[in-house]
Amino acid sequence: MTLSRGMLQRAPTIGEKRVKMAVRIVLGTQWGDEGKGKIVDILTEDSDIVVRYQGGANAGHTVVIDNEKFILHLVPTGILHPKKICILGNGVVVDLEQLFSELQELKERGIETDQRVLISDSAHLVMPYHKTIERLDEKQKGKNRIGTTCKGIGPAYADKIGRIGIRMMDLLDEELFNKKLEQNFKAKEVWFKMISKKEVFSLKKKSISVLKYKNKIKPLLIDASIYLNEAIKKRKNILLESAQGTLLDVDFGTYPYVTSSHPTAGGACIGSGIGPTRIDEVIGVTKAYTTRVGDGPFPTELNDTFGEILRKKGNEFGATTGRPRRCGWLDLVILKHSVRVNALDKLAITKLDVLDQIEPILVCVGYKYKNKKIEGFPKALNILWNVEPIYKEFSGWKNKTCGLTNYKDLPDKTKRYLEFIEKSLDVPIFLISTGFKREEAIFV
């Protein structure tokens, strides 16, 4: 697709250009924390069902409604819109203690959750021992640690792939559940030798006690693939919500500094049971600059006052762990990689207002390795750790864009920045977020 010049010149208002689509994927194009929560929240208005398709409680989706802040880890963001159905797909790994505490908190804050949350019977459980193993594993790796969220995500997916994971449906069969638990404790003996017998005993007790959720979970379990495909036949609008970002994908990210699932478009099919030909649109969410939390290469990282300013202005602290996020300039190399692996149809740009007073603003347009320009995004980490970004400089707009809802009100310099992104990536921008509140957005 070739974009026409001045694509962003159309004057929009919220809601004016909304297109009803049947099945849409919303995903992160960077290292997570792109502000997907808010975008999903806006798009939920046009949806009947919102599905989380991968990840677990490692995510932290922040939405602000009427000055009230909600951070959702496991429950799909759609829960904040009355009557929408929220589904945890088979691709999600579920920590039941976290899920029910999140639902309880929502209820206490006046959000109706009854009969609105459904879970795939094939989704795997994050068990208490997964978190213990992760803690031991990260410690053992020392300076080569991944910097995970320690929510048990990696070990839970490892068990899934290793074919010893415990699925939601197993909770309904106590005998099978206990048998699987025994099998798991045997398989993990090597880890449990690293902790005291007392700790192993308490871990076993905690793991057995997961059975207490059996009756609570029973009415929520569905075959999500059947449910969703029936919904598609009935022309329902479905939003498939990813957690994390493309550069954290276990195949397409900066491996091994990644999460253990597929936050990409392909992952949406695998994690929901909806086939690829049923997907109507793939939407990428891109922050106007770049952040990363945890370890791993980050070519445009700023270890100077600019980085500090972005962190402060953008409130770049992990919603799940509170860790300060590493901040840097927008990187078109990683974004082109994201556009390709996800076949993005359109982009939502977030946190544009964070750049309001920055001068100058840099955008990485390529990498140099050993003083030579290289093509594309290098998969080999020994190269990625050592690339030198090639920057294009923009003069900052030094004007307030925070809260704007009309494209024509954006400063010309801001429009130039956005048009450059659009043209470089060959993907149209359809939505610009200009603040943390639901209504602070521009539909282009």
Q: What are phi and psi of 19, to 5 degrees?
A: -110, 130
C-alpha–C-alpha distance, residues 28 and 284, integer Å: 6
- Options 62-70, 163-171, 175-183, 253-261: segment touching ligand IMP (CB under 6 A): 253-261
Q: How many residues bind ligand IMP (CB under 6 A)?
A: 21
- Options 10-18, 26-34, 170-178, 362-370: segment touching ligand IMP (CB under 6 A): 26-34
Q: Is 61 one of the catalytic residues?
A: yes
Report the residue from 146, 274, 361, 441 that binds ligand IMP according to the rule CB under 6 A.
146
One-letter identity of residue 149? T
Does residue 338 touch ligand IMP according to CB under 6 A?
A: no
Spatial contact of 120 and 102, defined as CB atoms under 8 Å apart:
no
Kindly write out the interface string for residues 59-78 of this chain, putting x where it contacts ligand IMP by CB under 6 A and - elsewhere.
Answer: xx------------------
What is the DSSP secondary structure assignment for residue 92, as one 8-state letter?
B
Nearer to ligand IMP, 58 or 272 (CB): 58
Q: Give the pair of three-digit tokens for residue 337.
A: 């990689």
CB of 33 to ligand IMP, least distance (A): 5
Closest to 314 (Cα-Cα) out of 349, 353, 347, 284: 353
Does residue 274 touch ligand IMP according to CB under 6 A?
A: no
Residues 225-244, interacting with ligand IMP (CB under 6 A):
243-244
- Sorted by sequence, the CB contacts under 8 Å of residue 270 that are 6+ apart come out as 53, 91, 262
Q: Give the pair of three-digit tokens for residue 176.
A: 């099978």
Nearer to ligand IMP, 6 or 322 (CB): 322
Closest to 349 (Cα-Cα) out of 424, 297, 265: 424
Does residue 273 touch ligand IMP according to CB under 6 A?
A: no
> Which residue, chain included where needed, has tokens 């990644």?
258
Does residue 30 touch ligand IMP according to CB under 6 A?
A: no
Nearer to ligand IMP, 137 or 345 (CB): 137
CB of 318 to ligand IMP, least distance (A): 7
Does residue 279 touch ligand IMP according to CB under 6 A?
A: no
State the first-to-last Cα distance of the chain, in angstroms, to the nearest integer. Answer: 18
- Options 144-152, 303-311, 383-391, 433-441: segment touching ligand IMP (CB under 6 A): 144-152
The secondary structure of 174-188 as a DSSP string is HHHHHHHHHHHHHHT
Nearer to ligand IMP, 98 or 424 (CB): 98
Q: Is 124 one of the catalytic residues?
A: no
Nearer to ligand IMP, 171 or 283 (CB): 283
Does an H or E element contain 49, and which? strand 49-52
The secondary structure of 187-207 as a DSSP string is HTHHHHTTS-HHHHHHHHHHH
> How many other β-carbons are positioned within 10 Å of the β-carbon of residue 418?
22
Closest to 209 (Cα-Cα) out of 185, 176, 174: 174
C-alpha–C-alpha distance, residues 165 and 56, integer Å: 15
Does residue 94 touch ligand IMP according to CB under 6 A?
A: no
Residues 284-303, interacting with ligand IMP (CB under 6 A):
293-294
- Sorted by sequence, the CB contacts under 8 Å of residue 423 that are 6+ apart come out as 3
Catalytic residue of the set 41, 61, 337, 353: 61
Residues 154-193, interacting with ligand IMP (CB under 6 A):
154
C-alpha–C-alpha distance, residues 64 and 42, integer Å: 11
Chain position whose Cβ is nearest to ligand IMP: 294
Nearer to ligand IMP, 78 or 154 (CB): 154
CB of 60 to ligand IMP, least distance (A): 6
C-alpha–C-alpha distance, residues 165 and 156, integer Å: 7
Nearer to ligand IMP, 253 or 378 (CB): 253
Does residue 58 touch ligand IMP according to CB under 6 A?
A: yes
Catalytic residue of the set 33, 95, 159, 345: 33
Q: For 9, what's the count of Cα atoms within 13 Å in the CB-facing half-sphere?
A: 5
Among all residues, which ones are annotated catalytic? 33, 61
- Interface contacts to ligand IMP, rule CB under 6 A: 31-33, 58-60, 146-149, 151, 153-154, 243-244, 248, 257, 259-260, 293-294
